[in-house]
Amino acid sequence: MSVDVKKLKVNELKEELQRRGLDTKGLKADLVERLKAALEAEAQADAPGQGEQEDEYCEDTRDNEDVEDLTAHCSFIVLEVKVEVKMEDDPQVAGDGQQDVQETEHQQEQDGAAQAEQVKVEADKGGNYGRKRPHEENRSYGYYEHREEKRSRTPQPPAEDEEENIDDTLVTIDTYNCDLHFKVSRDRYSGYPLTIEGFAYLWAGARASHGVTQGRVCYEMKINEEIPVKHLPSSEPDPHVVRIGWSLNHCSTQLGEEAFSFGYGGTGKKSSDCKFADFGEKFGENDVIGCYIDFDSGDEVEMGYSKNGVSLGVAFRTTKEALAGQGYTYIHDLEMEDKIRGTKGPATKSECEILMMVGLPACGKTTWAIKHAETNPEKKYNILGTNAIMDKMKVMGLRRQKNYAGRWDLLIQQATQCLNRLIEIAARKRRNYILDQTNVYGSARRRKMRPFEGFQRKAIVICPTDEDLKERTLKQTNEQGKDVPDHAVLEMKANFTLPEACDFLEGVTYIELQREEAEALLKQYNEEARVTIKDTTRAATTRVTTATTVNTQDTARATARHLPLRRRTTTTSNSHSNSHSSRSNSHSKHRATTSNISR
């Protein structure tokens, strides 16, 4: 037995037990003993020729079930190989290991996969028991981000992820050059994506540590398993898809969805620059896909594929008619001088940088973040924002809004939960980040920056003129719909404070209006928003009081016409009480029914 069970985390222990159909409850010591006994029993039951194979499998899966087995997986400066995975996990397994996913609603929700099947509703803050709360299906990510902003709990800085020391001359999966939600095994030759709740909708991509610029080179990938998923709706198209191919070092992990990015997917489609076309055959569980690149065919480069040893031909080319498929060298067999090392990550946390965007909705934060990342490719910024999450939910290169048949507000809420989880993961990885959220509350800024202690933490404030903000808001609304409700924007304006250099911020940079001008505009926003909120609250209170008085009087008059005088007061009181109770129960029933609507 090659696995050191004691070194496994609780989540990993539960996943191994779940895979074997064993009980996953109990303390870590109980889980360790249970898994040890199971592994020993398996070792005794196996034939002598199978023992070595079982040990190798356990070594590969001790980080979790593997989706891919990469014989080689390269990334390089001129062209690089990348595999992108969209696989689904068992929600029961994933739910046990994700207790720390943050809630975005006021009510306490059920944990695990139940969140993916129930519609969460906002808890009442006032006493408007007689008014049903309509379900707003058009809520966008800005609404849930606003709710999350007002949380006040500040987490402790997490421990940094430990990584095995790997020979840098080997071609392996690059833990620095992959998505945060792509989990790489300890031997660096296999990996799998997070799939709990909303993560099941996301693509997860990874590159290898090295690439090539010459010769005829190939690698192979095996899909070990397509794990069943129950928490996705049956209408979800192609829940298990893997893309494999090549791209430039500066390209994103969305394989085949931008220029100089070439992918072949399990649906039998090839794609580059978001242009999809039929190619080859469909592939899936247990299939081995070969990926070939030929620099020696002339001035152009050709890329081809094979399935289970049978050539599928050339997928991407310019002048050559066919690819012979002979004379290729596996990338791990190349001499070191024939391989090019991909971008290396920072050696220490102090070299890492996190830029926290600060600004009202639609002020231009995302635009600035994308442009800054593009103009600084050597830093390989990971943008942490709901916009970035939604970009990874694309179907055939199209944003999911265009073809999503389910509850849109529920999907947005799940995307927000995914973002919260990614921020937690990010704080444990040595990378460069841009936190693309509003961050207008001082308490929220402190809470979000605390886990990144040791990083270079900076704030980027975008405060355009009032005219520019209105123009950008109108443009965004016309293009994408209403992002944040008016009342939420008012709350932000009323509480917006400018960041200052402090114990959790080394510096503050103003992109448009500078500090003095921004302070004057914010003072105006604060005052106007507070007056508007106060007037709105007073008007709402008056309407509720008037309606209650009228209802009470109408009930009293109706009772008086049919009952003796001596019973008027008592009956009126009971009738009003029953009427109030009926409205309250109707509201509660509406909430209870709504909260159990399936997607």
| Closest CA relative to residue 576, chosen from 599, 548, 595, 596 | 548
Top CATH class of 106-150+347-599 equals alpha beta
Confirm if 293 and 301 have CB atoms less than 8 A apart.
yes
Closest of 340, 279, 338, 341 to residue 311, by C-alpha: 279
Q: In the 8-state DSSP scheme, what is residue 328?
A: -
Distance (Å) of CA 303 to CA 66, 255, 320:
26, 14, 11
Spatial strand order in the sheet of 204-208 = 173-178, 204-208, 80-86, 241-247, 261-265, 269-272, 275-278
Sequence-distant contacts of 494-497: CB under 8 A, at least 24 apart: 494/525, 494/526, 494/529, 494/530, 494/533, 495/440, 495/441, 495/526, 496/360, 496/440, 496/522, 496/525, 496/526, 497/440, 497/441, 497/442, 497/522
pTM to 2 decimal places? 0.58
Q: Based on the number of CB atoms within 10 Å of its own CB, is 47 exposed (0-12), middle (13-18) or buried (19 or more)? A: exposed
CB 244, CB 289: distance < 8 Å: yes
Place of tokens 């409205």: 583
CA pair distance 461, 435, nearest whole angstrom: 12
How far is the CA of 48 from the CAs of 36, 44, 486, in angstroms? 19, 9, 69
Which residue is associated with the tokens 């400018």? Answer: 498
Q: 10 Å Cβ neighbour count for 67?
A: 29
Hey, what amino acid is at 151? R
Type of residue at 6: K
- pLDDT by position in tens, the chain (length 599): 456 777 787 877 887 887 777 878 777 877 888 888 778 776 655 444 333 333 333 333 333 333 333 333 333 323 344 455 554 333 333 333 333 333 333 333 333 333 333 333 333 333 343 344 444 445 555 555 555 555 555 566 666 666 677 788 888 899 888 999 999 988 888 998 888 888 888 889 998 888 887 888 999 999 988 877 778 887 777 888 899 999 888 888 889 998 888 999 999 999 998 899 999 999 999 999 999 998 887 778 889 999 999 999 999 874 433 333 445 677 878 888 888 888 888 989 999 999 999 999 999 999 999 999 999 999 999 999 988 888 888 877 777 766 666 677 777 888 888 899 999 999 999 999 999 999 999 999 999 999 999 999 999 999 999 999 999 999 988 887 776 788 889 999 999 999 999 999 999 999 999 999 999 999 999 999 999 888 887 776 666 555 555 454 454 444 444 444 333 333 333 333 333 333 333 333 332 322 332 32
Relative orientation angle of helices 515-560 and 568-595, to the nearest 10 degrees: 130
Instruction: Please report the sign of the dihedral spanned by the C-alpha atoms of residue 367, residue 368, residue 374, residue 375.
Output: positive
Domain 68-92+158-341 has what CATH class? Answer: mainly beta
Distance in angstroms (rounded) separating the CA atoms of residues 115 and 110 = 6
Ramachandran region, residue 343 (left: φ > 0; alpha: ψ -120 to 50; beta: rest)? beta
Tell me the residue length of the chain.
Answer: 599
- The 10 Å CB-count burial string (b at 16+, else e) for 281-310 is eebeeeeebbbbbbbebeeebbbbbbbeee
pLDDT per residue as tens digits for the range 333-365: 888 888 888 888 898 999 999 999 999 999 999
Q: How far apart are CA 294 and CA 323, in angstroms?
A: 8
Cα 148 from Cα 538, distance rounded (Å): 26
Could you give phi then psi for residue 560, rounded to 5 degrees? -65, -30
Helix axes 28-45, 51-61, angle to 10 degrees: 150
CB 246 within 8 A of CB 303: yes
Q: What does the alpha-carbon distance between residue 98 and residue 104 come to, in Å, rounded to a whole number?
A: 15
**What strand order describes the sheet that includes 433-435?**
382-384, 433-435, 353-358, 456-461, 507-510
Whether the CB-CB separation of 84 and 70 falls below 8 Å is answered with no
Q: What would the two tokens of residue 495 be?
A: 């509480």
For 148-161, what is each residue's pLDDT tens digit?
555 555 566 666 66
Residue 384 has what pLDDT? Answer: 95
Domain boundaries, the chain: 5-61, 68-92+158-341, 106-150+347-599
What tens digit of pLDDT does each residue of 499-539 get? 999 999 999 999 999 999 999 999 999 999 999 888 887 77
**Is residue 486 classed as helix, strand or coil in its secondary structure?**
helix
Helix (H, G, I), strand (E, B) or coil at 131: coil
CA distances from 444 to 188, 358, 497 (A): 36, 11, 11
pLDDT of residue 544: 57
8 vs 426: CA distance, rounded Å: 21
> 276 in helix, strand or coil?
strand
Q: What is the dihedral of CA 229, 233, 234, 237, to 10 degrees?
A: -90
Buried b (16+ CB within 10 A) or exposed e, 239-251: bbbbbbbbbbbeb
Helix (H, G, I), strand (E, B) or coil at 460: strand
Q: Which residues pair with 261 in a beta bridge?
A: 247
List, in sequence order, every residue forming a beta bridge with 314; answer none if it has no partner: 304
